[in-house]
Structure 1
Amino acid sequence: MDIENENENDSQSEVIGELPEGKKIDENKSNSKKKRFEIKRWTAVAFWSWDQTNETCAICRNHLMEPCIECQGKNEDHGVGTHIECPRAIGRCNHSFHLHCISTWIQTRNSCPLDSAEWSLKEVVNN
């Protein structure tokens, strides 16, 4: 802390333009101060994850980033190499399903397949 206080006092006197009695400005001396350390390389690291509790659709058992069974059938009609979007439905309970799968499920019962809570749609996300 003493070093910080000394540096603060020096910088204040330089800003104001006042020098303590008997001291002269020596530009070479101020530039020749040794650095405590020098950062030569810095690498940032980050982790991410989905803010949902499941990665697979509990209804069709396909990964949520892959199309559902209905969309896979559409993809076969269009040919290999074409990308068919299969939207995901995220519920208030934070469980995710393919939109086609959950819409078929809701026709028979209005509950989440994973926790049996009443199903209410939070948002629809395109992959």
Structure 2
Amino acid sequence: MNVRKFLISKGTIGALFMILFYGLVMVGTYFSGYKVIPHKVKELPVAIVNQDTQSQSLKKQLKKDLPFHHVRTQYTLTQAQKKLKNRQIYMIIQIPKNFHSKIVKQEQNTNLKFWINESNP
């Protein structure tokens, strides 16, 4: 009998209502805030830093084929890193020195280097 009175009391019903209301507000906030991110990724400015003079065609191809609409190629690595730190660009793609010759010789592995500022999202 006491349990029944407890379950139908104003305090219990109010607490259950607040739990449901708070849960719905949090779910609504989460989904409305995060569904925009995948659609806006193409609008983020990125930088391609080419340190290899023989890889101009690779730089042009990356600029053309990447899904980003704002690709900057005029920065040095230090300028790009400063802009990344200040959130003016959101990713740096670096083509390192001797990239082309290492690929052609196939003697050493070489990689493109990527930087992102993880505080941006």
TM-score range, shorter chain: under 0.3
The normalised TM-score by structure 1 is 0.22
Q: Rg larger in 1 or in 2?
A: 1
Structure with more of its chain in helix, by fraction: 2
Structure with more of its chain in strand, by fraction: 2
